[in-house]
Amino acid sequence: MNQQIFTLQAFPGENLPPNVQIVGNITRNQQQLEITYKLLGDLSEIAIATPTNQPSRKHELWQDTCFEFFVGLKNATSYWEFNLSPAGDWNIYRFDHYRQGMQTETTFIELPFHVEKSASFTLNLQLDLAKIIPPDQKIDVAITSVIKQQNNQITYWALAHKGTKPDFHLRDSFIIEL
């Protein structure tokens, strides 16, 4: 089992929400991947969608508060982008190369995850990698978030920002090895 704790950093120079942090952990146990995000601090300025009764696959979730992660095969150019909305909506995209060959990943027909909001916000996902990753295949992971404030300003958070502008697809930012 491989477990790592993370803290996301906002892209430098952005007008950040006051006293907000994004922390969490990611664990891989054979083909099972579990990721937990915790949004901490004064959440009154953050636009967090209310969970729906009928979560579904939706496009462009990154236009609002969205928790994302990217999984790439070690030493390969292909990767997947996972988008998780606080409302329960989700999507997965597969890319052949950096921002090329984007396709909706249809191997998954649902992506159930748990959301809890109280003084803080928690999102937890358990994922069976066997649907897309061969057994014993090493992976590189980037963990990211898009945070939309009540004033509609958006900030971009990641483990690392390797570009001159926010770009979650840069493979240099896939810094967790599992």
Name the percent of the chain lying above pLDDT 70.
100
Return the bridge partners of 135, or none: none
Amino acid letter for position 53: N
Residue range of the domain that includes 110? 2-177
Asked if 71 and 139 count as a contact pair (C-beta separation under 8 A), the reply is yes
123-175: per-residue pLDDT in tens? 999 999 999 999 889 999 999 999 999 999 999 999 999 999 999 999 999 99
- Please check the confidence at residue 16 and state whether its pLDDT lies above 80: no
Residue 18 is predicted with a pLDDT of 73
81-108: per-residue pLDDT in tens? 999 999 999 999 999 999 999 999 999 9
17 or 52: which leads in pLDDT: 52
Q: Are strands 121-128 and 79-84 parallel, antiparallel or unpaired?
A: unpaired
Look-up: residue for tokens 């009928």?
Answer: 54
DSSP codes, the chain: -EEEEEE-EEPTT--PPTTEEEEEEEEEETTEEEEEEEEEE-GGGB--PPPPSS--B-S-GGGSSEEEEEEEETT-S-EEEEEE-TTS-EEEEEESBTTBS-EE-TT-S---EEEEESSSEEEEEEEEGGGTS-TT--EEEEEEEEEEBTTS-EEEEES---SSS--TT-GGG--EE-
22-81: per-residue pLDDT in tens? 999 999 999 999 999 999 999 999 999 998 889 999 999 999 999 999 999 999 999 999
CATH classification of the domain holding 41: 2.60.40.1190
164-173: per-residue pLDDT in tens? 999 999 999 9
The token duo for 14 is 């952005």
Residue 162 is predicted with a pLDDT of 92
Domains in the chain, number: 1
Residue 101 is predicted with a pLDDT of 96
